[in-house]
Structure 1
Amino acid sequence: MSNATTRLAEVFARDIPLSRAMGVQVLSWQEQQLRLQFPLAPNINHQASMFGGSMYCAAVLAGWGWLHLALLETGIDTTHIVVQSGQINYPRPIEHEHIIALCGAPEARAWQRFLATYRKHGKARLQLVSRVLTASGEDGAVLTGQFVLHSQENAKGCAE
C-alpha cells in the first residue's frame, strides 16, 4: 500500500465509522483513479446481493476518498469534505465477493475551476462519478455526486 492509500484507510477508519462496518479496503490510487474493495458479507441483502444502501455508501466513499487524495496532491490537507447530493442508478445486482468501487478524475477544466473557487472563497463544489462494479466489470451502481469542500472557517452550518 502506498502512503496515500495507507493514509486514506486511516482517515476512513478514524473519521467514518461506517466504513469499518462495511469492511472497506483501499486498494489503489493510480493515475487519478481510486479503487476500493468491499466484502459482500457485511453488505448483503435478503436477495443474496449487495444491499442498495451499501452500494450508495461504497460509491460515496469512493468519491469522498478521491477528492481527499487529489487535494493532498495539490497541498490541501483537509477532511472538510461533505457529499451535498447524489443521484444513483442500480443497473445490475452485485452478487460476488471482493466488490470494487472506483472513482476517476473529473474533466481537467472542472478540477481547475474547483481549485480556483476554493482558493478564492474557501468553499467549492465538484461533481464526481463513482461506480460499483459487478464481477464482470459492468456497472452495478453509478453515483453522480456533488461534493463540497469547505475551509474550517466555513464548516459551521454546512450540511452533510
Structure 2
Amino acid sequence: MSSDSHYLESVLHQDIPLTRDMGLKVLDWQQQRLRLHLPLDANVNHKSTMFGGSLYCGAVLAGWGWLHLRLREAGIDDGHIVIQEGRISYPLPVTGAAIAVCEAPEEKVWQRFVSTYQRYGRARLSLHTQVFNENSEAPAVAFDGQYVLHR
C-alpha cells in the first residue's frame, strides 16, 4: 500500500467510523485513479449479495476520497468536502467483494473547479464512480456524485 493509500484509509477510518465496520480498504491511488475494496461478509444482505446501501456508501466514499487526495496533491488544505447530490444505478448484483473505482475528470474541469474554489471559497465537482465485482470488468454499479468544497 502506498503512503497516499495508507493516509486515506487512516482518514476514512478515523473520521468516518462506519468505514471500519464496512471493512473498507484503500487498494491504491495511481495516476489520479482511486480504488477501494469492500468485502461481502461485512456488507451482505438477505439475498447473499452486497447491500445496496453499502454499495452507495462505497461509491460516495470513492469520490470523496478521490477529491481528498487530489486536493492534497494540489496543496489545497483549507476546505471541507461534502456530497451534495448523487445518482446511482445497480445493473448487476455484487456477489462477492466489490471494487469501487473513481477516475479523474477532464483536466479542464479540474482546473475550473480549482480556480472557482480559489476565487469564491466554494466550488462543485461532478465525479463518476463505478463499482465492480472483484475480478470482473463489467460495472455492477454506476454512480455520479456532485461534491462541494467550501471553506
Q: Does TM-score exceed 0.5, indicating one fold? A: yes
Kept in 1: contact 2:34–2:102 (CA 8 A): yes
Residue 49 of structure 1: aligned partner: 49
Q: How does 1:64-75 map to 2 (within 5 A)?
A: 64-75=64-75
Q: Distance in 1 between matches of 2:63 and 2:52?
A: 17
Q: Distance in 1 between matches of 2:17 and 2:141?
A: 22
Residue 114 of structure 2: aligned partner: 115
Residue 124 of structure 2: aligned partner: 125
- Secondary structure in structure 2 of the residue aligned to 1:14: helix
Kept in 1: contact 2:25–2:36 (CA 8 A): yes
Aligned residues: 150
Q: Distance in 1 between matches of 2:29 and 2:55?
A: 20
Q: Distance in 1 between matches of 2:121 and 2:6?
A: 27
Q: Distance in 1 between matches of 2:74 and 2:15?
A: 21
Residue 158 of structure 1: aligned partner: none
Q: Distance in 2 between matches of 1:132 and 1:8?
A: 19
Kept in 1: contact 2:79–2:150 (CA 8 A): no
Q: Distance in 1 between matches of 2:29 and 2:69?
A: 8
Aligned partner of 1:63: which letter?
G
Aligned partner of 2:108: which letter?
R
- Secondary structure in structure 1 of the residue aligned to 2:69: helix
Q: Distance in 2 between matches of 1:19 and 1:79?
A: 22
Q: Offset at 1:137?
A: 2.2
Q: Offset at 1:78?
A: 5.0
Q: Offset at 1:4?
A: 1.0
Unaligned runs of 5+ in 1: 152-160
Residue 155 of structure 1: aligned partner: none
Residue 23 of structure 1: aligned partner: 23
Identity %: 53
Residue 88 of structure 2: aligned partner: 88
Aligned partner of 1:48: which letter?
S
**1:10–1:50 Cα change, 3 Å:** same
CA RMSD of aligned residues (A): 1.0
